[in-house]
Structure 1
Amino acid sequence: MVTSWGIRRAQRAVDAAAQRVVDEKQNKTDISRELGRMPGHHDAFRTADKNIKNAKKDLKKAEKKLDKKQR
């Protein structure tokens, strides 16, 4: 049996991971706005995409952990 404290902690982790996904997507739009369609700056977009992918992966892990604790 997991305490409500453990569930709250897992829920905070999910909330933080979800916020990170939103922040990374906003970061990509900011980069896009700054650079426009200038050639040679694709590394910034690739890095932003990688950060978004990693943030989504972290969110899935946190959701899985929360689901496990709520059982």
Structure 2
Amino acid sequence: MDSADTHHFYFADYEILVGGRFCIRGQATLDYAPTDTTPFDPAELVERLRRRIADERGVERDEVRIRHLSRL
């Protein structure tokens, strides 16, 4: 399979849980290119996005909720 067929960019709109309410909102992008040894997995894509947002914002991964995800 051509790498152009498996290399995609994603845009996510998200919320972060603070004090029991989802109140911090933002957007993030992700460059995702599965390899022959790691095929495309939608759950892995969402997990990578949530981990990246959590790391950037200094919160736990479970506090991040993806509201909308689009492939660009």
Q: Bigger radius of gyration, 1 or 2?
A: 1
Instruction: Give the TM bin, normalised by the shorter chain.
Output: under 0.3
Instruction: Compute the TM-score of the two structures, normalised by the length of structure 1.
Output: 0.26
Instruction: Compute the TM-score of the two structures, normalised by the length of structure 2.
Output: 0.26
Point out the structure with the larger strand share.
Answer: 2
Point out the structure with the larger helix share.
Answer: 1
